[in-house]
Amino acid sequence: MTVSTRTDGIPHAIMDTDYPSSSVDWLTRLIVFDTVSRHSNLALIEDVQSYCEQLGLTVDLTFNDAKNKANLFVTVPAGDNADIVNHGLVLSGHTDVVPVDGQEWTSEPFTATIRGDKLYGRGACDMKGFIACALTLLPKAVQLSNRGQLRRPLHLALSFDEEVGCLGAPLILADLKARGITPDYCIVGEPTNMAMVVAHKGIAVYRCRVHGKSAHSSLTATGVNAISYASRLIGYVDTLAEEISHRDDNDALFDVPYSTLSVGTINGGTATNIVPNLCEFTFDYRNLPHMTQEDILAPIQAKVAELSAQMQARAPETGIELMQEESVPAMTDNESSELQAIIAALTGDSKRHKVAYATEGGQFTNSGIPTIICGPGSIEQAHKADEYVELNEIERCDSFLQRLLESCTTDK
């Protein structure tokens, strides 16, 4: 493997065609690709595409509008004696990673470094570790397919821009629907320490823009203070957050057993002696699967209308805008009991977990594909400086995927 620099200064790898045979080597290879969400992921996708084509597989790509990012979907077909057609099992992972800006790393983030029993590098656990294990599994699946022993297709789905709103996965799912591919199950390999996560919360991000009217601070009655009205709305959001935390339909199986509302950023004002004419803030809503965005949106919209009316009574050009910037659905466990039973039998661990963070899993379940989350590494290491995955987690994932593959085979 050699490393070069693109004309835009972003390092990337020029990969040879002697592909790895182990998951650790695959992970080392994948980390070299700087797939921070603001960059293209095409170099990584093209490398994986070449690998899959060397295995005799047909790769399907779906692109973003700018054509500088792509999803990859590839299928190892079932054998001749298959009793299931166009169904199968999806192994899903996102190729993008979060930035390293401002973080103090003790080793180069885009070069895999093994120290002791850990492999360090951006994406090591979130979530190139799982992708590495899945790529290592592919040749074994192809062998079984060629022998006619794979009774259920095995699919690999790699997406772009999960970290900035799960933007890539919907394109994969739309493409599958158009092609008549209806997978039986999906496993999203986000880091769970190889525990079975059966549900997660959804997330919606909102931006609120409060338009006031400027005035000299000695003449406050002639202005409309955008910060003051923003603070009233923020106070209402906090009150609503407290109310929904005490609902009688909360779910104790979640690590945070209630839906949450949280203000994240705020910006406004130009000087202390000027009544501010603009204030913006953002907040996110992380909902339990049985709750909807409407549960909080309706009361917040009513409060926005109330406050806007008060502002406009003083100056008609004022008011409040409420805009949704991001939305990722929750993942439910309503349809995945059969998959859960399969995973529990393979791992010997029937414990089911529910988590507060969101993944692409909710998009799969919304498309009618029963899904669980299970992958190597800990979510506590994700997005941090010196991100790492323990080597035994990679070994556990390899073993799990091998057993999963064996469950999709038949003697012949």
Give the pLDDT band of residue 80 (cuts 50, 70, 90). low
Whether 96 sits among the annotated catalytic residues: the reply is: yes
What's the pTM value of the predicted model, to 2 decimals? 0.89
Q: Is the peptide bond before 127 cis (omega within 30 degrees of 0)?
A: yes
Q: Work out the average pLDDT over 96-109.
A: 97
Q: Work out the average pLDDT over 65-88.
A: 82
pLDDT at 348: 86
Of 34, 47, 96, 390, which residue is the catalytic one? 96
Q: Work out the average pLDDT over 364-389.
A: 96
The residue type found at 235 is: G
Give the pLDDT band of residue 349 (cuts 50, 70, 90). confident
pLDDT tens profile 106-144: 999 999 999 999 999 999 999 999 999 999 999 999 999
- Count other C-beta atoms under 10 Å from residue 324's C-beta: 12
Does residue 380 have a pLDDT over 80?
yes
Q: Work out the average pLDDT over 387-399.
A: 98
Does residue 204 have a pLDDT over 90?
yes
Does residue 368 have a pLDDT over 60?
yes
Whole-number percent of the chain with pLDDT over 70: 94
Cross-strand pairs, 97: 36
Region of 86 on the Ramachandran plot (φ > 0 left; ψ -120 to 50 alpha; else beta): left
The residue type found at 122 is: R
Does residue 11 have a pLDDT over 70?
no
Q: Work out the average pLDDT over 329-352.
A: 92
Burial of 372 (0-12, 13-18, 19+ CB in 10 A): buried
**Domains recognised in the chain with CATH numbers:** 2-200+330-407 (3.40.630.10), 202-328 (3.30.70.360)
pLDDT at 85: 54
Whether 190 sits among the annotated catalytic residues: the reply is: no
Does residue 81 have a pLDDT over 80?
no
Chain-wide mean pLDDT for the chain?
93
165 and 328 Cβ atoms separated by less than 8 Å? yes
Burial of 148 (0-12, 13-18, 19+ CB in 10 A): middle
pLDDT at 68: 97
Cα 63 off chain centre by: 17
pLDDT at 17: 65
Of 34, 126, 161, 162, which residue is the catalytic one? 162
Region of 223 on the Ramachandran plot (φ > 0 left; ψ -120 to 50 alpha; else beta): beta
pLDDT at 13: 41
Euclidean distance between CA atoms 399 and 377, whole angstroms: 14
